[in-house]
Amino acid sequence: MFPSSVSSEHAAVLATEQAGMTVLTEREAADRLRLSIVTMRRMRWAGSGPRFVRLSEKRIGYREADLNHWLEARTSKAS
């Protein structure tokens, strides 16, 4: 699947990224969605934002796949 020169750890990271499992920081996710961090936090507290990952007590992350899924769910065909 990957060249033999790629370490197994690096190969795992590449496979995870290819599967859409890349974890973005709160800032990166907000930038990707063109929203402010405050808006992201408000949506998270209200339960209306994308799924998130609690990386530590004070750190939140967002999987790229979850951001894409959230965007798809909010996409309409007509207004």
Residue 5 included in any domain: no
CB 65 within 8 A of CB 20: yes
Instruction: Check if the beta carbon of residue 24 is closer than 8 Å to that of residue 64.
Output: yes
Range of the domain at 75: 24-79
> Does a structural domain hold residue 4?
no
* pLDDT surpasses 70 at 63: yes
Q: Is residue 58 part of a domain?
A: yes
The total domain count for the chain is 1
With a cut of 70, say whether residue 2 has pLDDT above it: no
Q: Is residue 77 part of a domain?
A: yes
Arithmetic mean of pLDDT, 33-59:
96
Mean pLDDT of 8-31: 73
Q: Report CA-CA distances (Å) from 62 to 5, 32, 70.
A: 30, 11, 11
Question: Is residue 7 one of the residues assigned to a domain?
Answer: no
Whole-number average pLDDT of the chain: 84
